[in-house]
């Protein structure tokens, strides 16, 4: 019979509490404990093994001792759904990724306890998938000129004196439906419309600039 290095109760408690009882999958973050009925408690949390508890299991690491395999460092707090997912889809969930999730989950819980939150830029990622060329151009602009925020949508034939402020120029000729795309970006909180003097002007929000400057 294969021996399993299961977590003991105090270890499970440590893993769950250090994650603030939330699923550590950054795409989930579901609370794993809450009220059930009028006076009961429902729990959907699982202390999952980062590397398997037994030989032949997901991400098993033969280099670990039995104690290391059953230690809190080898556990990650997940909801039931995500704990199944990481063991079924192994190629998308290697050991390093689960360690990263765990580190981020504990950091999130640490900051949350002290009144801070980590802003997740998932929505900007979705936005970038929708209009990659435009956002890639903005990223190049911001990298070259990190203190500029103003954007002017312009046609190549027009002349514009500008002003003292520096700005980025987007050309209608280079982007189909430019104004519609900028409107979508506005809806996502990436831009603010500051149109004046009949010129389509926008300002990049600081959240979006931060996203553009994230290491890829």
- Contacting residues toward Zn ion, per CB under 5 A: 23, 25, 28, 79, 82
CB of 125 to Zn ion, least distance (A): 19
d(CA 167, CA 114): 38
Nearest to Zn ion of 26, 205 (CB atom): 26
CB of 202 to Zn ion, least distance (A): 37
Cα–chain center distance at 185: 18
CB of 49 to Zn ion, least distance (A): 16
CB of 105 to Zn ion, least distance (A): 11
CB of 83 to Zn ion, least distance (A): 8
**β-pair type (167-171, 150-154):** parallel
Nearest to Zn ion of 76, 131 (CB atom): 76
As given in the structure block, the two tokens for residue 195 are: 């149109």
Cα–chain center distance at 84: 21
Q: Where are the alpha helices (DSSP H) in the chain?
A: 9-18, 66-69, 80-88, 95-113, 122-130, 132-144, 178-187, 206-212
119 secondary structure, DSSP code: P
Nearest to Zn ion of 25, 74 (CB atom): 25
Nearest to Zn ion of 79, 138 (CB atom): 79
**β-pair type (40-43, 150-154):** unpaired
Strand partners, 40: 36
């Amino acid at each position: 019979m294969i021996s399993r290095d299961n977590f003991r109760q105090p270890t499970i408690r440590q893993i769950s509490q250090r994650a603030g009882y939330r699923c550590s999958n950054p795409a989930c973050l579901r609370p794993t404990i809450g009220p059930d009925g009028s006076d009961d408690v429902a729990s959907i949390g699982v202390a999952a093994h980062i590397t398997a508890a037994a030989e032949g299991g997901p991400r098993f690491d033969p280099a670990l001792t039995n104690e290391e395999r059953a230690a809190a460092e080898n556990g990650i707090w997940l909801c039931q759904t995500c704990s199944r997912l990481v063991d079924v889809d192994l190629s998308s969930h290697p050991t390093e990724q689960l360690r990263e999730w765990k580190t981020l989950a504990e950091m999130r819980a640490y900051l949350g306890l002290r009144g801070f939150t980590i802003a997740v830029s998932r929505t900007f990622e979705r936005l970038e998938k929708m209009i990659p060329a435009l956002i890639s151009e903005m990223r190049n602009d911001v990298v070259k000129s990190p203190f500029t925020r103003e954007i002017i949508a312009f046609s190549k034939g027009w002349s514009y004196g500008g002003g003292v402020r520096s700005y980025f120029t987007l050309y209608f000729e280079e982007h189909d439906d430019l104004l519609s795309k900028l409107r979508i970006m506005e809806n996502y909180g990436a831009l603010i419309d500051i149109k004046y003097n009949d010129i389509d002007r926008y300002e990049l929000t600081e959240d979006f600039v931060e996203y553009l400057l994230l290491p890829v």
